[in-house]
Amino acid sequence: MEGRRILRLEQRRADLRFPLPDRFAERVANARIDRLARQAKFLAAYLSTGEVLVMHLGMTGRFTIAGGQPGSFHHTTGGALAHDHVVFHMEGGETVTYNDPRRFGFMELWPAEHFGAYPRLKDLGPEPLSNGFSAAYLDRALAGKAAPIKAALLDQSIIAGLGNIYVCEALYRAGISPKRLSRSVPGQRAARLAPAVNAIIAEAIAAGGSSISDFAATDGALGYFQHRFDVYDREGEPCKHCGSIVKRIVQSGRSTFYCPACQR
């Protein structure tokens, strides 16, 4: 999409998680996408109109690309799917379709000039794999915090971009109990946790992400990281390291999987 114009946008319902922008189709019609970027789990398309189209996949959102001229970037999909909510008709003939059964995703337009004030992005913490994220940063960010470390790692204002799966996997890799209070992590544990977070994210990206049930790349291919989970969704199975039984608990309403023997 980068460098191409959106010839026409087809909006098939009024809202996703939030209402779609007012006059959405009109505001993006004929706009060129000057730059496509990602921040944490947010996608940002900088438009030639001076607005930024912010997109989030929620839990079940996906983009698929179809059509186009022979020889151009082209993926075939299985045809029209239920829950195709927004279709971008691109210069060159491709269609880029946003599908999202649960509609936890969203799309918003925001002036590029004031993008720094965009509320959903302005309080994000540093991303794993960035210079701002390190054991020293964790020491500072977790100091004095009472919430369990599992909840702190899911907090996007502390670290941006980690979800439930990768938090479980990173804590296992670092040998830290998800129930441990955040304030007891700084020091040696943070020194193990920071590289564990980076390793999990890097490996997951290299494997093409995780497919629980409906994740897919733009060509419909599934991610493969889920074949490497050490603890996530492995309740009752033996720990790959020590053979103890992997446990599942609920923290802040989310499932946590961990090895009670390896993670202290």
Partner DNA sequence: GCTTGGACCTGATTGC
Partner DNA sequence: TGCAATCAGGTCCAAG
Using rule CB under 7 A, residue 164 touches DNA: yes
Shortest Cβ 180–DNA spacing (Å): 12
Among 14, 22, 80, 82, binds DNA (CB under 7 A): 82
User: Measuring CA to CA, how many Å separate 71 from each of 115, 221, 224?
Assistant: 36, 20, 28
- Residue 207, token pair as written in the block: 């494997």
Stretch that binds DNA, among 127-135, 140-148, 184-192, 199-207 (CB under 7 A): 140-148
Contact between 118 and DNA per CB under 7 A: no
Rule CB under 7 A: choose which of 8, 17, 75, 228 binds DNA.
17
Binding test (CB under 7 A) with DNA, winner from 67, 68, 92, 101: 101
DSSP 223: P
32 counts as binding DNA under rule CB under 7 A: no
Q: Please, what is the minimum distance in Å from the beta carbon of residue 110 to DNA?
A: 12
Q: Determine if 218 is a binding residue for DNA (CB under 7 A).
A: no
The identity of residue 142, as a single letter, is L
Instruction: Please tell me whether residue 4 adopts helix, strand or coil conformation.
Output: coil
CB-side neighbour CA atoms (13 Å) of 49: 17
Q: How many residues bind DNA (CB under 7 A)?
A: 40
Residue 166 Cβ vs DNA, minimum distance, rounded to whole Å: 8
Cβ–Cβ < 8 Å for 11, 91: no
Mark residues 168-207: x for contact with DNA by CB under 7 A, - for none. Answer: --------------x-------------------------
Q: CA-CA distances (angstroms) from residue 148 to 85, 103, 135, 184, 198? A: 37, 29, 18, 10, 20
Answer for the pair 84, 62: CB distance below 8 angstroms, yes or no: no
DSSP string, 45-56: EEETTSEEEEEE
List 107, 149, 165, 171, residue binding DNA (CB under 7 A): 165
In the bound state with DNA, the residue whose beta carbon lies nearer, of 49 and 97, is 97
The reply on whether position 236 binds DNA by CB under 7 A is no
The residue whose two tokens read 């502390």 is: 158
The answer to the question of residue 214 lying near DNA (CB under 7 A) is: yes
Cβ-Cβ contacts under 8 Å for 129 (sequence gap 6 or more): 198, 201, 202
Residue with tokens 């799309």: 107
**CB contact at 8 A, 179 and 171:** no
Contacts with DNA, residue ranges (CB under 7 A): 17, 40-42, 56, 58-60, 82-83, 101-104, 119-120, 145-148, 151, 154, 156, 163-165, 182, 209-215, 223, 251-255
